[in-house]
Amino acid sequence: MFWVVVALLYFVLAAVAPSILGLFVNRARPDFGSLSLSLRIVFLVIALICLAATSYVHVESDEIAVLNKIYGTTSLSGEHIVATNGEKGPQAEILTPGWHPWFLVNVIYQVENKKVVSIPSSKYGFLVAKDGVPLRPDQFLADAFPSGRELDMLDAEFFLTHEGQRGPQTTILTPGTYRLNTHLWDVTIKDATDVAEGSVGVVKSNVIDSVHFGNLTAAKPSSCEQKTVSTNASGEAVAAAEAKSDEGRLAAILVPVGCIGVWEKALQPGRYYVNEAAYKVTMMSTRVQTWEFKGGYRKRYIDLSLDQAGNLTQTPRFEDIKKPDNAADPAVTPFVEGWLVPLELRVLAQVTPDNAPFVVASVGTLKDIEDNIMVPTIRSIVRNVVGAQGRHVLDLADNRAELEHAVEDAIRPEGLRAGIVIKEVKFGDPALPPELLVSRLRQQLADQLQVTYQQEQKAQTQRIETEKARATAEQQHQLVEALIGVQVAEQNKNAAKLRGEGQKLELEEVAQGQRAQADVLGQDRVLTITLVQQMLKAVQDKPEIVSLIGRLVPQTVVSTGGERTGLDSAAAIIGALLNNGGGATPAFTGQSSKK
């Protein structure tokens, strides 16, 4: 407007230029006319420049220009705020990047340059139209534009002239850059929906529309017949008519994809640009879930100690076991044989992708299933099975596997009723009453002591054997000498035996010879000869006995008559030998032997 005023001022100045010039220059001057014309031209050019400044719009490459008509002949009706036919007020038309000459555009319109709308990746744009046809009473979102015409609706004039509805839109903006007329559109940037691996997205739709969510596509349904779904004996979600009647079995209502309600098919892992106002996506994990029942009880102990004298001492103590933050519930406490026995356990469960819509429609989220159905059911079944009549407290330690299978078999059908597959049930260590374990512990301690004593005795025996072996090794040379001595003695024994046998044979031969000699010469002569031989041998060996024998043997042997004996002859011979040795000749007296 400023430039228009300036331009008008200069137009006026151009018109009154002669008068203005006459104030400063004498009109009688010959060149007054030419000066007046020059001044008019200058004022006119300045006026035109000022008008030109109001007659163009420049838009940068990342901008648009929106128009608000200030001066016009007609006004908008009360139900519209954006003009499509040149009425006063915000205009449906926008100016795109570039130069736009338009006479007095900046005078007739209020022009604003706006940044284009940019939707980053992993986001989407939620649109709200400020003008258009009102929503029907049964609507809270506008009808989506036909497939392939989504971008046409961004043209404000097209939107308003083709029954575009006012209010929040079903159609959204995916990542990209858009030239939006901000007089018509409000845009809110929101996060896309990511379905993680190991999960599915169960969709509850608030609108009837065609669906283009990745591999889940469907045309706009012509009819939306609801189906009542339940689970069969295998835990599969099927039409209620196909499932056997069971009062305890859950049921849910599902609809075809594209209808209002919970869709019978779920979104597979991936990224989806889902209008949160039109669709609510509930994430359901299809991985194996671990529900732990831990803590929340006081565990009692009785410690046994053994002194040097073998006396046992019992010392009671306790420990408070807290419930972990990630545990589904505290430990189950069944009543067995009058004892409350805290029992920790772990349950593995899974929701299959096909069952996910049924589970969400019938129960809710996985947390709802855990808190409202499975945890109370598991606690009840464990109490009933473990605390059944005929069960014993020590069965939790001695027959643990049997009880686990019994609980698992009882829980599995209950899970299938809710569409949950129970994979495994495992018990933790039960907090058995320590009073029941004291006798067993004492017996174990006695057995261990007995084993210890046996081991000690065995160790002592082995030590003795070791010492014996060491001593034997140290005395090995003496043992070898003794062994050699034994062998030598044995050889000497054999040698002596052989010598004795030889002497025996020799004596026998000698005796036999002597008997033969005695038979020829007579016993007296044989004796004499033997004595002489022995004496001669003795004299030969020891000549010094000759003098001694001389004193003992008489020089003369006297015969008293009769027959001579062998001893007489021997004595005579010895005497003769002695005499010869002393220089005398032996003499024999007496009678000669008979012829």
Strand partners, 219: none
Q: Is the per-residue pLDDT at 403 higher than 70? A: yes
- In degrees and rounded to multiples of 5, residue 90 shows phi and psi of -60, 135
Name which residue leads in pLDDT, 430 or 526: 430
In whole angstroms, what separates CA 5 from the centre of its chain? 81
Residue 503 pLDDT: 76
Burial class (CB in 10 A: 0-12, 13-18, 19+), 280: middle
| pLDDT > 60? residue 584 | no
Per-residue confidence (pLDDT) for residue 578, from 0 to 100: 52
Q: Distances in Å between the alpha carbon of 137 and those of 34, 126, 140, 141, 142?
A: 76, 22, 8, 11, 11
Q: Which long-range contacts (CB under 8 A, 24 or more apart) does 5-10 make?
A: 6/46, 6/47, 6/50, 7/46, 7/47, 7/48, 7/49, 7/50, 7/51, 7/54, 8/47, 9/47, 10/43, 10/44, 10/46, 10/47, 10/50
The token pair that represents 376 in the structure block: 């109370």
- Token pair belonging to 327: 């545990």
CA gap 488, 494 in Å, rounded? 10
Q: How confident is the model at residue 67 (pLDDT cuts 50, 70, 90)?
A: very high
Give me the residues paired with residue 127 across strands. 187
Q: Does 462 score more than 90 pLDDT?
A: no
Is pLDDT larger for residue 182 or for residue 514?
182
Question: Which phi and psi angles does 133 have, rounded to 5°?
Answer: -70, 135
Angstrom distance (rounded) from CA 66 to CA 64 = 7
The token pair at 122 is 């992993």
Give the pLDDT score at 595: 34
Most confident of 9-13, 31-35, 228-232, 513-517: 228-232
pLDDT in tens, 167-181: 999 999 999 999 999
pLDDT of 97 reads 92
Residue 571's pLDDT band, with cuts at 50, 70 and 90, is low
**Residue partners of 350: CB distance under 8 A and separation at least 6:** 286, 287, 288, 289, 420, 421, 423
Comparing 32-46, 328-342, 420-434, the range with the smallest average pLDDT is: 32-46
C-beta atoms surrounding 585 within 10 Å: 8
Q: How confident is the model at residue 485 (pLDDT cuts 50, 70, 90)?
A: confident
Angle, alpha carbons 7-12-16 (nearest 5°): 145
Q: Taking residues 75-92, what's their average pLDDT?
A: 87
Q: Is 550 helix (H, G, I), strand (E, B) or coil?
A: helix
Distance separating alpha carbons of residues 182 and 509, to the nearest angstrom: 158
Contact by Cβ (8 Å): 274, 213: yes
Helices (H), 355-433: 356-362, 366-369, 375-386, 395-398, 400-417
Residue with the larger pLDDT of the pair 377 and 29: 377
pLDDT of residue 332: 94
**Residue 526: pLDDT above 80?**
no
8 A C-beta contact, residue 250 and residue 178:
no
Q: Could you tell me the maximum CA-CA distance found in the chain, to the nearest angstrom?
A: 240
Predicted local distance difference test score (pLDDT) of residue 441 = 73
User: By C-alpha distance, which of 219, 214, 201, 286 is closest to 257?
Assistant: 219
Q: Are strands 56-59 and 98-101 parallel, antiparallel or unpaired?
A: antiparallel
pLDDT at 101: 86
DSSP for residue 583: T
> What does the pLDDT read at residue 170?
92
pLDDT at 276: 93
pLDDT on residue 262: 94
* For the chain, percent of residues with pLDDT exceeding 90: 36
Q: Is the pLDDT of residue 566 over 70?
A: no
Query: For residues 336 and 391, is the Cβ–Cβ distance under 8 A?
Result: yes
* Residue 408: how many other CB atoms lie within 10 Å: 18
In which band, very low, low, confident or very high, does the pLDDT at 38 lie, cut at 50, 70 and 90?
Answer: low
Q: Decide if pLDDT at 586 tops 50.
A: no
| pLDDT band with cut points at 50, 70 and 90 for residue 508 | confident
Identify the DSSP state of 528. H
What confidence score (pLDDT) does residue 532 get? 75
In this predicted model, which residue has the larger pLDDT, 474 or 66? Answer: 66
Per the CB < 8 A criterion, the answer to whether 64 and 185 are in contact is no
Instruction: Report all structural domains of the chain as residue ranges with CATH numbers, in order of start.
Output: 2-113 (no CATH), 117-280 (no CATH), 290-432 (3.30.479.30), 523-589 (no CATH)
Q: Which residue, among 100, 101, 110, has the nearest Cα to 71 in the 3D structure?
A: 110
Per the model's pLDDT, the better-predicted residue between 557 and 359 turns out to be 359
pLDDT tier at 220, thresholds 50, 70, 90 = confident
Whether pLDDT at 75 is above 90 = no
Chain mean pLDDT for the chain:
80
Neighbours of 528 (CB within 10 A): 21
Instruction: Say how far apart CA 507 and CA 296 lie, in whole Å.
Output: 112
Spatial CB neighbours of 245, under 8 Å, sequence gap ≥ 6? none
Q: Which of 111-115, 243-247, 398-402 has the lowest mean pLDDT?
A: 243-247
pLDDT tens digits, 235-291: 777 776 665 555 567 888 999 999 999 999 999 999 999 999 999 999 999 999 999
Residue 323 DSSP class = P
Which residue, chain included where needed, has tokens 């997205």?
A: 201
Name the residue with higher pLDDT: 302 or 348. Answer: 348
- The predicted-structure confidence for 42-60, as pLDDT tens digits, reads as follows 656 666 666 667 777 889 9
Q: How many residues does the structure list for the chain?
A: 595
For residue 512, pLDDT over 80 is answered with no
Q: What is the pLDDT of residue 547?
A: 63
Residue 427: band (very low, low, confident or very high) from pLDDT cuts 50, 70, 90: very high
Percentage of residues in the chain having pLDDT higher than 70: 78
